[in-house]
A and B are shown apart, each in its own frame.
Chain A
Amino acid sequence: MNNLYKLLRKPATTLFGVAQSMPKRFYAAPPKRFYKKTSVLYNDGKYEVTLDSRKLKTPNGTLFTVKSEPLAIAVATEFDAQKEHIERSKMHLSALCFTALDNPNRHTKTDMVNYILNYIATDTILFQYDDEKELHDLQRTEWDPIIQWFNERYGTNLEKTMVMSPPNVSADDKAKVSKYLLSHSEDVLFGFIYAVDTLKSVLLAFAAIDQRLSVDKAAALSRLEEEYQAKFWGRVEWAHDLSQQELQARLAASVLFVHLNRSEHFVKEKLIV
């Protein structure tokens, strides 16, 4: 009986113990770096990453494999750059590869293309604002050439809007963009979606991927109004600079991912027997 009483009492005291130290928040601790050296393996036409003698696996448990050598090297370098802990939230390139391999939301190719097509109507650079002359001049000189370039490159007829109602995206425009997107493989589309989500703009994402804009410039154009307002209201390092660096890193990761996964990088050499 005495034992039973002890058993019952024990959880209650630990419960109080937790309640007293409530102000401390519990986050999942990042895993410790358990390897010394990272390397790349070539196996069965695909590249794998090794951490010491173990093979890298995705969060879902499947083996990590990519078709392109530079991508595998970049992922291995990223794992090697981790200091004491593996900080997965700051490994954008690896995260993108993992997402493409695992496909956690079970997206099909059509889902992804439709997502990008529906994004065009809410594209950042198609919404301009003419109440403030200086800002509008900036938008006209910086954003309009990109809209024009996109229309020429993809044969579309997109127009900017100056009011709240979304710009008109015709079925013909959508068909042209979707034809271009569908010519890519599924994993490349993950890169496109990542770029669009980071920049909040389809046009800027396409311009960055097509080498029309450098990554820093595309990021700057996406943050055009924020930069403009910061000129008057001040710039704080821990908000503006932090978000700028993160945006640039994420965009660079997606541009690299798209380029390295496109077929033009896989050179097949003839075997000399």
Chain B
Amino acid sequence: MAATKTLRSLLQELRSASPKGCIKNSLAARYILAQYKKYSTTDLQLCKARDEALFLGQTYLTYLSSLRKYNELYKDYHGRGERSVKETADLVGFKLPTDPK
């Protein structure tokens, strides 16, 4: 159950990370789906730790989602240089002499 949930969110993140918003030909999506099918009954194959595949999936999910959130915050707040007179006036609720009353 947890694996299916992780898979869905991973595909969602990959979709939002790709520039065209489409993961039909994405290598990562294909690889993750193949891993999901391979370990769908158990991931106790190949002498791995318990739930290792799930752990890696969740870690990659954290990586993608944290980067996305970081970029969103960065875009909102990073400095864009000095504000223009109009922007400053708007900020404090003043009008420019040229604006209609």
- CB contact under 8 A between A74 and B70, given known A83-B19, A211-B52: no
Number of interface residues of B (CB under 8 A): 32
The CA of A206 and the CA of B74, in the complex, are separated in Å by 30
The CA of A85 and the CA of B79, in the complex, are separated in Å by 18
Closest approach, in angstroms, between the C-beta of A199 and any C-beta of chain B? 14
The CA of A187 and the CA of B61, in the complex, are separated in Å by 23
Q: Say which residue of B31, B46, B51, B60 sits within 8 Å of A211 (CB atoms).
A: B51
* B63 engages A252 (CB within 8 Å): yes
B66 within 8 A of A: yes
B81 within 8 A of A: yes
B26 within 8 A of A: yes
Closest approach, in angstroms, between the C-beta of B63 and any C-beta of chain A? 4
In A186-233, the 8 Å CB interface with B consists of 211, 214-216
Closest approach, in angstroms, between the C-beta of A2 and any C-beta of chain B? 41
* A252 engages B59 (CB within 8 Å): yes
* A238 engages B51 (CB within 8 Å): no
In A80-114, the 8 Å CB interface with B consists of 80-83, 90, 92-93
Interface of chain B, helix or strand or loop or mixed?
Answer: helix
Chain A residues closer than 8 Å to B39, beta-carbon distance: none
* A245 engages B48 (CB within 8 Å): no
* A264 engages B28 (CB within 8 Å): no
Closest approach, in angstroms, between the C-beta of A15 and any C-beta of chain B? 23
B82 within 8 A of A: yes
Chain A residues closer than 8 Å to B18, beta-carbon distance: 80-81
Chain B residues closer than 8 Å to A120, beta-carbon distance: none
Closest approach, in angstroms, between the C-beta of A103 and any C-beta of chain B? 23
Closest residue to B16 on the A side, CB-wise? A81
Closest approach, in angstroms, between the C-beta of A235 and any C-beta of chain B? 13
B85 within 8 A of A: no
- Which 6 residue pairs of A and B lie closest in terms of their CB atoms, listed nearest first? A252-B63, A249-B66, A248-B66, A238-B77, A245-B70, A81-B17
List 13 A–B pairs whose Cβ atoms lie within 8 Å, in order of A's numbering.
Answer: A73-B28, A77-B17, A77-B26, A80-B26, A83-B19, A211-B49, A211-B51, A216-B62, A242-B74, A242-B77, A255-B59, A260-B56, A264-B47
Interface residues of A (CB under 8 A from B): 23-24, 39-40, 69-70, 73-74, 76-77, 80-83, 90, 92-93, 211, 214-216, 237-238, 241-242, 245-246, 248-249, 252-253, 255-256, 259-260, 264, 267
